[in-house]
Structure 1
Amino acid sequence: MRIRKSITREAAEQALAALTTTIAGAHPGPEPLLLLGIANGGLPVAARLADALAPLRSGPVLRGAIDCSFHRDDIGRSPIPKEVASTSIPADVEGATVLLVDDVLCSGRTVRAALEEVFALGRPARVDLAVLVDRGNRRLPIEANFRGFHEPTAPEESVKVDLGVDPAIVIRSTVSTSA
């Protein structure tokens, strides 16, 4: 695998700040905004967004996690990771404004599975989607309402988002050099 493109920490921080501003404008309050990070990659992005959104809204920002493992359509081909955060939601989704958050959007299958998990728990008034990186290659008619980067990739490429322990953000697109 070789690195095709790296996005600098500064650019990633700017993208998160722009995402925060756009989301705050679309959801100013006073009703609670329920941010649900899609496990596992969406959890650190949701944490960063929740912390940044809280002072910009007149309503509360609640943060939880969605484990969509059992709703995936590839569960037979792609086993569930051993360490995955379980669904943990700090408020009832019934009638709530929900913002699903993930690190990377590609085919749309993970988002579809996350939507199934949300709707299994109740019927929200509204569900939006925020992603740090939209890489295209959709297999389902799902689009992000809010995105940090649009980074078109080939299906065989991968995008890695690493928020790390410190606030540094590194995004790498890699493509296999083997035939």
Structure 2
Amino acid sequence: MEAKATVLDEAAIRRALTRISHEIIEKNKGVEDLVLVGVKTRGVPIAKRLKHKIQEIEGVEIPEGELDITLYRDDLTENQDEPELKETNITADIDGKKVILVDDVLYTGRTVRAAMDALIDHGRPSQIQLAVLVDRGHRELPIRADFVGKNVPTSQDEIITVSLVETDERDQVEIHEK
């Protein structure tokens, strides 16, 4: 599958995450009671990067965790293979906290719905906010991101691929034709 266009390169990803970090701090009037939770797989390294940026800006370390939504997906019966379970790791108490769910791409909204269901099984946050690197549109559920790195209008025949150093050895967001 050949790339149709590069949407974000390494520098653009870094700038987008820096901006999102500032927006998170501003919207929440600081970092008190914040917890970052990355949706596996690529939401986790993005959440870790946001954590480090926020720590650079505010001088405060905020808790972060990892969320596996495999068993919460509504398309499990469509997949023939056994789902591959990954570990959920949320050590911070999220009761009464403002949880920032972090993912790489927002598309139909079904992943975010599954993530909210999984998160609620871990506690009862006072708020759930959503940060994504890319919003590509085509929502099927009434979900929108609070923090967006880049809006990328796409057709249904296109695929957005996010590559990160932590998982793919490079930082890049590309559009591919199906």
TM over 0.5: yes
Identify unmatched segments of 5+ residues in structure 1: none
Which residue does the alignment assign to 1:24?
Answer: 25
Rate the CA distance shift 1:124–1:132 in 2: closer, same or farther, 3 A: same
CA drift of 1:58 comes to: 6.5
Distance, in Å, in 2 between the alignment partners of 1:170 and 1:91 is 31
Distance, in Å, in 2 between the alignment partners of 1:55 and 1:33 is 15
Which residue does the alignment assign to 1:9?
Answer: 10
Q: TM-score, normalised by structure 1?
A: 0.89
Rate the CA distance shift 1:94–1:23 in 2: closer, same or farther, 3 A: same
CA drift of 1:81 comes to: 5.1
Q: Secondary structure of 2:63's match?
A: strand
CA drift of 1:168 comes to: 4.8
Q: How large is the Cα RMSD of the aligned pairs? A: 2.0
Contact 2:38 2:66 in 1 (8 A): yes
CA drift of 1:4 comes to: 1.7
Distance, in Å, in 2 between the alignment partners of 1:170 and 1:30 is 28
CA drift of 1:59 comes to: 5.2
Which residue does the alignment assign to 2:133?
Answer: 132
Q: What residue identity is the alignment partner of 2:123?
A: G
Distance, in Å, in 1 between the alignment partners of 2:50 and 2:106 is 17
CA offsets, 1:115-136, max 9 Å, x none? 0011112211011000000010
CA drift of 1:18 comes to: 1.1
Q: TM-score, normalised by structure 2?
A: 0.89
CA drift of 1:167 comes to: 8.6
Which residue does the alignment assign to 1:69?
Answer: 70
Q: State how many pairs are aligned.
A: 175
Distance, in Å, in 1 between the alignment partners of 2:37 and 2:31 is 18
Identify unmatched segments of 5+ residues in structure 2: none
CA offsets, 1:74-130, max 9 Å, x none? 011235653x53111121111111000001110000000000011112211011000
CA offsets, 1:6-58, max 9 Å, x none? 02222222111111111121234352311000011201111110111113236
Q: What residue identity is the alignment partner of 1:22?
A: E
Task: State the percentage of identical aligned residues.
Answer: 37
